Structure formats: C-alpha cells, structure tokens
Structure 1
C-alpha cells in the first residue's frame, strides 16, 4: 500500500517538545511570546501541504499542531519553521522533538487537555491554555474544521476528566504545586504574617494571587509592565479580603526588601529580576526569600542566589524534578480519555472514507453512462420508455453491488491496522487522495525527525 507521503484527506500532525523531552534551555529557545504566535502560525501555513495551524505554548511545553495532506513535507516544514523562529539549526532541535500523526496526535491532545501529561498529574490549568491557544489561532484565521473538531473534543474530554474523576484531588495546578514547595522552603505551613510579590498579571499570576490569599498572606504586591493590569489584579485581591497594591516593573526594587515570596509569571523575553535586584534588597534587609519562576523563557536570573543561603530559587527546571507522577484516580481519567478518543476516531473514520465512497460511486456512474451511451448507439429502435427502464435497472444493480462495500468501509475504517478505504481505492484504481491517513508516533532520539522519509515511506498502513 501507499506510504505516508501520499496526498490525501487532511490529518493532524503534531510536532512538540516539553519538559519530558527537552532541557529547559532548549524549551526557552523554542518558546514563543504571545505576540509572536500569530506570525508563527501564519508561517506554518506557508507550507504547500499545511492547511491549518495551532500552537499550544505553556510554561513547560511547546506543541505545534497542523492539518496536512502529506506527512513528509509537512514534518520538514514544521520543524524548519520552529527552528527558524527559535534561531537554532533544525538538526540541533530534532533530538528533543516528538512527533504524533493522525490517531496518535488526537490521543496526545486529549491526554494533554486532561492534565495527564503534565508535571503534576491532574492539573487543570492546561485546559484553559488549550482553549486560549484555540481562540488565538481562530482569531488568526489558521484553524479550520480539522483542528476545530479535535480541539473541541479535547476540551470536552478535559472537562469530563475533571468533573467525573478525582484525578485532580492530589494533582494541583503548577502554581499551587510550586507555592506548596515555597512554603516548605520557608519552613511554614501558611503565609500568615508574610508578604509576597507577584510579577505578571495573566492567568498564572492570578492563580498565584488567589493561592496566596487563601494561604493567609498579609499583603500582596502585583507588578506588571502595564500598571493598569497590575491594578486590576490587586483590586481582585482586595475584593477577596487581601491587602494588595500595584507597581510597575520599575517599582520592583523598592518592594523586594519587604517580601518573603516572589512569584514571577510574565510573558517577557528577558530577565525581569536580576542578581543585583536581590543583592540590593538583601543589603537593606537581610532575610530568607523564596523566588518562584513560572515563566518560559525564565524571568529570574540564576545569579539571584548569590553566595549565601538566604535566597532559594524554584524554577521550571527544578520543579520538573520535584513533580511526582500519578494520582489515585488516574486510571479512571485515562478511561474517560480512551472513550472520548474512540468516539472521535469513529467520527473521523466515517468522515475520512467519504472521499473514497464518492470516488467509487463516481467511477461506477461514469461506467454506467458510458455503457448506456453505447447501448443507445447499438439499438436505435429502442423507445424512450424502454431506455428509461433499462437505465433504472442498471443503476439499481450497481447500487446494490456497491451498497455492502460502502457500508463496510465506513464501519471498518482502519480496523485491525488495515486501511480499508485505501484498499478500496487501490482495488478500483480511484484518484489519489481518496484514502485516509496512517497513524504514527516518533519519539525524541528517533534519527533525523525531519529527514525520516526513508524510514516511513512504503510502510504498510
């Protein structure tokens, strides 16, 4: 059978790297600021075989989903585009990438949306990040029916996992996970009598502010490049009964000497908090401080720890090591994912065979028209009534012959690893592009991800 390089119905290709596959420095280079996502997605569409694009960017993963009609050129194009935006050679990036195609890409997105591929199993924040990624791509005009249907299924799956299982009882969001460790570093069980600084005003900063309030923090200062957004988050804290104030980023040095915990979660490219900032604060008021950096690229310079032991920095790299796997209800959550995936793939299977069925029926119609035309020429004396009856009879016979294979190909799809739609296309010599794609996964370390034509071409489906 034909290999993955054939042109066919659009399938989803995922190229990604995350805390599981890549070290933080590589993740930092590959990450894209929110303002750059639109241009990155548009560049993805520049590939001739890429019809849709969506980028999921979080503090510990970058995933590039595209709808494509040809596996090999799409994979090359996506890897080269990511490498160009990251400013590093594709060959340096490839060892850290994982690739999912068709069924495997769908399974991965559903698993991610359910919090089952997160540092902290069961965390809920990623579902909001996926929703935001979809909204960004939709506003950018880079998603169509293929990625729309997959993303909506993933969001539905994530909601079901969190409402129907207890997978997130033990698993918290990355924010609460990090701040739990911050408290441990302070040797405390709550934030009563302590002050905190939150840098940023987005979703993660808001979660941090809420967590600190619930932990009994005495005062929260919110710092942000746009002061009005910092004021807005501080106002929400005050409405929740927490004393709060707002400052611009330039006001951070004046606040540091009086805080015990700093949480930084911005979309900035470059250092927000330097070693000099912390050294200045410690010079005026030496005290134990815990700094939590939830940003990618990192906000806080490693130099903040200095030579002493008063400063503790928790960043994504260390939190990755600290995070544990598994919760008491993970099996139930994975069962939900499996059920939703099965329904989704059945829907895709039915849709994917439509071109084959249409092509088969068109081929049959063309044969009927040709044979009836010859019959008319050979029997000039046939009446219009007799001709109409013969035509109806021939079409009924052909419809009955085609009924079983068309029903079966929709029912079977790619059961047992056999692509029946593709087999039908080959048997009847139907036009190229009328059969469904093949599922595939590639892990980091597979030789030459963007050069794997020889490895995959010619494989049976």
Structure 2
C-alpha cells in the first residue's frame, strides 16, 4: 500500500461547501449515509449488507437485509469504476494567475523527479508528471479516482507553496480525460502559450518526455499521452505555419525593452544579461538582430558563456561572476534576468549601493521565480518589468496567428482520436490474453497427443520443428483477430467497433465462462472435432 507524501486533510461537508463550483465539487462520491449505516469507502470495494434503520416501521435500530442498499452500493461502485484510471491535469498558467502565484509553485528541473515521487506516493495517483515553465505549472496524473486525486494534488501544491487550499482553488484549473488530453495537445502546439504559436513549449514538452523515460512513475498512460502530444505539436507547426516568424518570450522581452527604453536605439545601450541558459541564448540572438554587438554576461559558470560565445562569434560576450552583479548593473542601461534561481538575485540593497545615474535603468525579468525582488520596483531610479508585462507586446501579432490556430484545432482533434483509439484498445487486453491462453492450451494439448501417437520415434530436432510449426499456425490464425482487437489495422477502428469485436470473440470462444475449466473446454471442443 502506498504511503502518501503527507496525509491530506479529511474532507468534511463544511469544507466541501466552500469549494469552487463544478470543478471542485468533488465530495459526491464520499461515503453515502443510508439510515444510520454507511457504504464503506468504495476504494476498498467493501459494502455493508446489514443496515441499521431508525424508522417507526421496523422499530428502533432493527437490523435487516436491504436489497436497495446493495443496489445503491452496486451503482456507486459502477460510478467509481467509470472514473478509475482517469487522466487528470491540474494546473495554473499565465492566463489564470499572476507571476507572484506562479513563482511559489515553480518546480526547477533538478526537482522534477522528487516532485513526481511525492505525487505518486499518494494512494489514488498511479502515474505523475510535471510541466513547469515560466508561464505554467501543470501536474498530469493517471488517477485511480479523479476526485480523490484532485484533492491529493491540491494538498501537495499547498504543502509546496504554503498557500491554502482555498487560495489555490481561485487560480487552478482541473481537466479530466478527453479535456486533459486535448489541453496538453494544445499546449504542445503553442495554442495555450502567452505568445500564440511559440515553439519553445514543444521543446519543453519533449524534455519532460525524455526525463520521464528514466522514471517508473511516468508510466504507460502518460508516456503515450506525451508522445501523442509531441506528434500533435509537430504537425501543427509544420502544417499550419503558426510558428513562422513568431515571437518567443525572449524576443518579446527584447521588443519590450526597445519600446520602454529611453534610448533611441538598442544598439547604443550597455547590455547585461544575468543567466546563460536557453533563454539567454535567445536573448543574445534577438539583441544581435537589433545591432547589439557587445553584451556583459553574469553567470555562475564561465563555461556556459564560452559556449555561447562560440554560437555568436559576431557578438562580444564578457563574463562576470555572480559576485560582480552589482558592478555590471552599475554600468548597464538595460538588464535582462533569466536564471533558475529560487531566490531573487537583485534586491534593494544591490541597487541602493549604486551611484545615481543620469537615466533610469531598465530591468526585464523573464524568470519564474523572479530574479529581481518586487521591492526593487519601488525605487525611483529604476523601472522593472516581468514576464506578465509581455502581454502588450504579443497582443499585436495575435490576430494573424488566431486564424492559423483554427486550422491547428482540427489537427489536434485528429491526434486526440488516435490517442483515444489507443486507450480503447487497452480494454481488450484481458480478452487478448484469454484468447492467446485458450489457443495455447489447444496447441499444447494437440502437440502432446501427437507425441503420444508417434512415441519415441521422433528426434529432438523433429519435435522442436513440430512445436515451432504449431506455434506458427496459431500465431497466423490469431493475427487477424488480434489486429481488430487492438484497433491498429490499416484503418483505425472506432471505439464501438473495437468493443464489438471484443464481445464477439468472447462469445465465439466462450472466454468468459466460469462453469467449465479451460482444460475441460479444450477437451470438449477437440473431442467434437474428432
């Protein structure tokens, strides 16, 4: 049995009344009161048959067998089963909350594995994955019970961020099954990005997929989901051209600096970039396109700056350690920050110690959590912008991309059907196993009868050849049924057709019969054949 990261608080009727309507009204499947008896937790699949009723008809506390209670329990179990192994996404993004909230929940890449371990330790979460960027935190899980898993994820988020459940619910979105899958496909395609159609998010989804291959809790369901999302993202970008000439977060940051700077041209500014990762690389690229040929780089590692210098031979990159950040800021007009630091690298004391400047310094902080402390913006000598301020820049080119996004939605729907067909094929796995076992039993029975007839006249080589022949015949005979049961033929079968094939096979071969053992069924059929 799993031991949770830390036990969640029990849900009461009082707390459920305060939950956000619809998405967070998740207490409907909690134990149901019938008279003074209760249906036990459906997660344990246990129900009480003896029910104590406080009624005048039976007298006080009379114990009777109630068929209605059994029927109610059966209905509850069926409703619970319908929600088993749901794919669930709970998250927040630049569309639902400000950077002050997102930075509290940001999960650095180095902590992804730990976060997945913590999430999958909860009793109703089988598989887990994290998608954490500067614009979003999304938790994807394969859940045994979507409503309980939702509570567990919110509890994990609360423990991580220090935010109350009530405050988190104001910003979170919850999507299940088809909607959850559709959301990830849209995210990977850049349709849910701050910059519509930006391509960096597809790379981030690919990286999550790559990281997940080394983690057991990133299981079959999520692996298939992320693979299909990557396929959808690639198709959207290549077939719609939605990313052609698109702005990224980094390019939008450069445009914002150009728009807000007191300088006439960016190439006349003294530039400083704090950080030397992927975002910094894109910043250098876009600054270079604006004519900037000299940039001061502040980073922990000089090696990364040297690697960037190789990528941009036309730009002079001057390395400074983090200890020199104040001195670099002193001589810079525009400062971009883009590190993965959990704490601010630039605060009031950093700026307050600098001599007064003729013109105000401009900070563009595209990190989440923020690298520039919020209090720095209170100083009159500087102007600070963060990633949320980029919205005014990206709004200008959104109309053209919106037309391409409409075409992208059709591609996403096609890929969603492909993923759902794969999910539906999983329902036939037990039937496939039973059919193979049934065929193998017949094969072994007939093979042994053959050996009994010929006695010891066959060599080991001949016996092996006969056995391989029998296996080959069985495999070829089963190939057609297996293709239709899996729904992976030349033309993808719909869900109803796959299930119809499954039921037909079960009826034809009596695979669900419990009255006869497999051996007796085999003997009966082979005897009739003779």
- Do Structure 1 and Structure 2 share a fold, with TM-score over 0.5? yes
Matched, 1:353 2:424: no
Give the structure 2 partner of residue 267 of structure 1.
340
Gaps of 5+ in 1: 370-398, 432-461
Assess if the C-alpha contact under 8 Å between 1:16 and 1:62 holds in 2: yes
Matched, 1:257 2:355: no
- Which structure has the larger Rg? 2
- Of 153, 165, 185 in structure 1, the residue corresponding to residue 240 of structure 2 is 165
- The 5 Å alignment of 1:105-116 reads 105-116=180-191
Assess if the C-alpha contact under 8 Å between 1:41 and 1:137 holds in 2: no
Q: Secondary structure at the match of 1:252?
A: helix
- Of 336, 350, 365 in structure 2, the residue corresponding to residue 293 of structure 1 is 365
Tell me how far apart the structure 2 counterparts of residues 407 and 185 of structure 1 sit (CA, whole Å).
Answer: 58
* Higher mean C-alpha deviation, range 188-197 or range 52-61: 188-197
Assess if the C-alpha contact under 8 Å between 2:103 and 2:370 holds in 1: yes
Q: What do residues 148-199 of structure 1 show as CA deviations (whole Å, max 9, x unaligned)?
A: 1211221122222222222123641111112111101126675323221111
Q: Secondary structure at the match of 1:5?
A: helix
Matched, 1:318 2:392: no
* Higher mean C-alpha deviation, range 266-275 or range 339-348: 339-348
Tell me how far apart the structure 1 counterparts of residues 357 and 262 of structure 2 sit (CA, whole Å).
Answer: 19
- The 5 Å alignment of 1:63-212 reads 63-169=138-244, 171-186=246-261, 191-212=266-287
Tell me how far apart the structure 2 counterparts of residues 96 and 30 of structure 1 sit (CA, whole Å).
Answer: 12
Tell me how far apart the structure 2 counterparts of residues 143 and 273 of structure 1 sit (CA, whole Å).
Answer: 37
> Once the 2 structures are TM-superposed, how far is the Cα of residue 71 of structure 1 from its aligned partner?
1.9
Give the structure 2 partner of residue 43 of structure 1.
118
Give the structure 1 partner of residue 32 of structure 2.
none
- The 5 Å alignment of 1:10-29 reads 10-29=85-104
- Of 108, 130, 135 in structure 2, the residue corresponding to residue 60 of structure 1 is 135
Gaps of 5+ in 2: 1-74, 443-477, 514-530
Assess if the C-alpha contact under 8 Å between 1:5 and 1:72 holds in 2: no
Highest RCO, 1 vs 2 (Cα 8 Å, sep ≥ 6): 1
Tell me how far apart the structure 2 counterparts of residues 250 and 280 of structure 1 sit (CA, whole Å).
Answer: 14
Q: What do residues 348-375 of structure 1 show as CA deviations (whole Å, max 9, x unaligned)?
A: 222x32146459979999xxx9xxxxxx
Assess if the C-alpha contact under 8 Å between 1:123 and 1:168 holds in 2: yes
TM-score (norm 1): 0.74
Query: Residues 5 and 247 (structure 1 numbering): CA distance in 2 closer, same or farther, change over 3 Å?
Result: farther
Assess if the C-alpha contact under 8 Å between 1:29 and 1:297 holds in 2: yes
Q: Secondary structure at the match of 1:222?
A: strand
Query: Residues 423 and 100 (structure 1 numbering): CA distance in 2 closer, same or farther, change over 3 Å?
Result: farther
Query: Residues 301 and 110 (structure 1 numbering): CA distance in 2 closer, same or farther, change over 3 Å?
Result: same
Tell me how far apart the structure 1 counterparts of residues 146 and 375 of structure 2 sit (CA, whole Å).
Answer: 44
Tell me how far apart the structure 2 counterparts of residues 181 and 143 of structure 1 sit (CA, whole Å).
Answer: 38
Assess if the C-alpha contact under 8 Å between 1:199 and 1:263 holds in 2: yes
> Once the 2 structures are TM-superposed, how far is the Cα of residue 4 of structure 1 from its aligned partner?
5.6
Query: Residues 4 and 420 (structure 1 numbering): CA distance in 2 closer, same or farther, change over 3 Å?
Result: farther
